[in-house]
Amino acid sequence: MNFRAVGLMLGVVLLLMAGFLLVPLGVAVGYGESYGPFAFSAGIVALVGGAIAIVLRGSTVTAEGRPDYFRREGLAVVGLAWLIGGMAGALPYLFAGTFDSISDALFESVSGLTTTGSTVMSGKGIDDMPHGIAFWRSFTHWLGGFGIVMVFVVIFPTGGRSLFRSEIPGIAREAGHHRVRDSALALMRIYVGISLIEGVLLWLAGMTPFDAVLHTFGTIATGGFSNHSQSVAYFDSLPIEMILTLFMFLCGFNFAIYDTLLRVGPRPAWRKVVGSVEARSYVIIGVGATLLIATVLWFWGGSASSGDPSLPDYRSFGTALRHSVFQVVCLNTSTGFGTVDFDKWPQVCRVLLMMLAVIGACAGSTGGGIKVVRMLIVGRAAILGVRRFVRPRAIHAVRMDGQSLDEGIVASVTGYFSLWIIVFLSGTVFIASYGYDLVTSSTAVLATLNNIGPGLHKVGPAMNFAELPDLVKLVLTVFMILGRLEFYAVVALFVPGFWKR
């Protein structure tokens, strides 16, 4: 392990964070607000990062000019970058007095960077945020959705393949026929381009430019932070909800499809979608869940049957469908926006939404969750086990898109799934030990581990995570990073052999 190279790259990540902090500083200046919190934060982060970079300069190359870091160094940087990035991102909250507690500031910062969307802020705190803080809170979503490390790959002078492969989650990490840096640049252009298109559409649909920018950040990164305590329900606009739903859904696909669209054209991209069992399953799951939940809500009736005036009247199938499709796409892509308190829906709807949150979107997307392709592989591996039991001498293989998967990939996916279950159960027991009910405990873990945002009951869409003890918040903060990096890059840091030279 080249510790000096790891240190140098982390120093550069801090310098990047310092540069990013200048953006909300400009927003604060533009709105005539105090820019001190961002100036102090940027100065401290730049000082620390610059000192590290100067002391360790040249550590990533050999005397012959070849890269002197490989996969282990890349994994170490990816795993640690999100932790130090979260610490740097927490400074403005502390300097601005948004939070008095370090654990709260770190929770909010990491929630933003990992595109989780869980919050410890009250409704009044969200509505009363200064523009600069509100911008930074949502901007961390946008940065985290693309990946701070991805930006690092683009600008770092040597190598970056290990960083790229460690940062881009999924079973197949496609880079086309480009070099790694070219692939990172292509993905960056796609990410920025989609953001610009959505921002303009939201503005034309009636949002203010500031609201449009912040909700674009939350949508493209599938994060879900809003500068209104009512979230998207604040606007009460069908066109706005349709635009947000469309872009959340699109960002749940593998971004390699959009790379193919730009490089080769619409027909090859369409063939890629149609030929991918993951993409087809993602669409089928979304459509099926939407229709099922809408039908349940329609028969239930909402306020008409429950007598709760805070609920919509679902005797209109159109209203049921409108709320169903928005929340299904939100939970399936782990975005976390809200137009209604779905924690008041019938139990079957709540269970279905949590199941969608577990499954998640496609690999290679900005969405969270276990990912559709992993669920497909685990399911097919289970069926394969039964077939082997029935016919032990026959040759069996897990197939995806017409190809047999290597047993190493299947083992890796099933290992990931096992790790997820172990962490989920352990986290649920840990939170329940503080006296919280099973629904709150389990969905708090699910919401952070799968980067969803809201859970149910005491951490539901109309609530927040503020009342949880500081130690629980810190554990859930770690869960957010675990979910964002999909376990292996973080778990590897705790394996002693990983750090040996």
At 64 the pLDDT is 54
- Of the pLDDT bands very low, low, confident and very high (cuts 50, 70, 90), residue 163 is very low
Range list of β-strands (E), 422-487: none
State the chain's mean pLDDT as an integer: 87
Q: What is the mean pLDDT of residues 42-69?
A: 79
pLDDT tens digits for range 107-132: 999 999 999 999 999 989 999 999 99
Q: Is the pLDDT of residue 187 over 90?
A: no
Q: What is the mean pLDDT of residues 151-168?
A: 48
pLDDT tens digits for range 453-469: 999 999 999 899 999 99
Report the sign of the C-alpha dihedral through residues 477, 24, 44, 18, in that order. Answer: positive
The CA–CA distances, whole Å, from 9 to 114, 145, 322 equal: 20, 20, 46
At 69 the pLDDT is 67
Higher pLDDT, 6 or 203: 203
pLDDT > 70: percent of the chain: 89
pLDDT tens digits for range 361-383: 998 888 888 999 999 999 998 99
Cβ neighbours for 336, distance < 8 A, ≥ 6 positions apart: 116, 117, 118, 218, 223, 224, 225, 330, 452, 453, 454
**Domain ranges across the chain:** 3-255
- Classify each residue of 363-372 as buried b or exposed e, where b means 16 or more C-beta atoms within 10 Å of its C-beta: bbbbbbbbbb
Q: Is the pLDDT of residue 270 over 50?
A: yes
At 63 the pLDDT is 58
At 422 the pLDDT is 94
pTM: 0.91
Q: Is the pLDDT of residue 168 over 50?
A: no
Q: Which of 2-16, 164-178, 423-437, 476-490 is the least confident region?
A: 164-178
pLDDT tens digits for range 417-439: 999 999 999 999 999 999 999 99
Q: Is the pLDDT of residue 178 over 50?
A: no
